[in-house]
Amino acid sequence: MYPHVTDNSDRWIARWLTVCAVVIFGMILLGGVTRLTDSGLSMVEWQPIMGAIPPLTAADWDLAFTKYQQFPEYQKVNYDMDLAGFKVIFMYEYLHRVLGRLIGVLYLFPMVFFMVRGMVRRPLKPKLLLLFVLGGCQGLLGWYMVKSGLVDRPDVSQYRLTAHLGLAVLVYGYMVWLILQITSPHRQIVGEHSVKFYALAALVYLMILSGGFVAGTDAGYSYPTWPLMGDHLIPPSIYAEGWISAFEQVTTIQFNHRLFAYGLVLLVASIAIRNFRGSSDPRVKWGAVALALALVCQVTLGVSTLLTHVAVPIAAAHQGGAVVLLTAALFFTHARLTERSRF
């Protein structure tokens, strides 16, 4: 049925997807640094082709800086910035966009090669094409996000930022899931009790989206204390403006993000202990351990981010840690759903 498809073909496709996933992980990290250094609005134009070439001469840099000076972020926030400072924030955003283009090249050309050579199994083809379409949408969504900060308010919309982050993580997560399926062809998913294990990964994903709103509103700066928020465990001002507070009020946004973390700690502790003790499948045991360790590291990074007043290296590591936690959740979910010896 697949004359050119062999186990070796599957291995090459898995390796290719792994490289792409690693680069996407790097891009998510760099995107976090770009946001934390307020660099995202330094490039005020979107040029998918010509934009790959940075300013090369003094005249080019002067022109780019002049364009930046025409927009609210410079006029209201960075009005005292000189050309040297502009070059720093420009390069963060430039590298972020270049990495996006690199991902497109790394994904498109090998995909076409594998498909033309008949090395891709038929059920996998639409999934690979879907990933490509989602990647293209991610690029468009990135510019749509930037445009929201080039108006009167020199900050990007927290809704668009969260959507941009969420789609990047979704592409990464789906890619990881395909890698797990390709590299474990003899482990078939069993339907019973599957929903609750998919729900684990879904909850981690929702926590990442919650973090997007924290980032988009700078809610992490509002209460740099833990375990209390200021003088309160539950601040009296949460949901002061109704349900919209969950998306627009910094106190409620940070409180909800903490609640997600506490809920995941309880859920993951229960799942990890039960499956480590009760399963005889080594993959499930390793998955439970990886899940627990990833969560401990992520919570530690989250608390450290607060206590250091959102120090860039720690906050960026916290964003990366969220993706590592999702990876662990997906690995555990796949291992549990394909478990050979159930208890």
Single pTM value for the model: 0.91
Q: Which two tokens stand for residue 239?
A: 């949901």
Is residue 319 located within the same domain as residue 236? yes
Q: What is the DSSP string of 33-60?
A: HHHHTT-TTS-----TTGGGSPP-SHHH
Q: Residue 5 — very low, low, confident or very high, per pLDDT cuts 50/70/90? A: low
Structure confidence by residue, pLDDT tens digits, 143-179: 889 888 888 888 889 999 999 999 999 999 999 999 9
How many other CB atoms are there within 10 angstroms of residue 198's CB atom?
13
Tell whether 149 and 1 lie within a shared domain. Answer: yes
Range of the domain at 117: 1-185
The predicted pLDDT at position 172 comes to 97
Cβ-contact 317, 301 below 8 angstroms: yes
Same domain, 198 and 156: no
Do 8 and 157 lie in a common domain? Answer: yes
Ramachandran class of 38: left when φ > 0, alpha when ψ lies in -120 to 50, beta otherwise: left
Task: Look at residues 138, 160, 185 and tell me which one is the last residue of a structural domain.
Answer: 185
Is there a single domain that holds both residue 35 and residue 147? yes
Domain boundary among 160, 185, 210: 185
User: Does residue 250 sit in the same domain as residue 274?
Assistant: yes
Q: Are residues 110 and 211 in the same domain?
A: no
Task: Please write the tens of the pLDDT for every residue from 232-280.
Answer: 899 988 898 888 999 999 999 999 999 999 999 999 999 889 888 878 8
Same domain flag for 161 and 272: no
Residues 202 and 154 in one domain: no
Q: Residues 240, 332: one domain?
A: yes
**Tell me, what DSSP letter sits at residue 242?**
G
Residues 332, 220 within the same domain: yes
Same domain flag for 309 and 164: no
Domain end: 185, 207, 227, which one? 185
- Tens digit of pLDDT for each residue in 320-338? 999 999 999 999 998 888 8
Pairwise CA distance, residues 107 & 23, whole Å: 10
Q: How many domains does the chain have?
A: 2
- HSE-up (13 A, CA, CB side) for residue 315: 23
Q: Yes or no: say if 181 and 101 are a contact pair by the CB < 8 Å rule.
A: no
How many Cα neighbours within 13 Å face the side chain of 215? Answer: 31
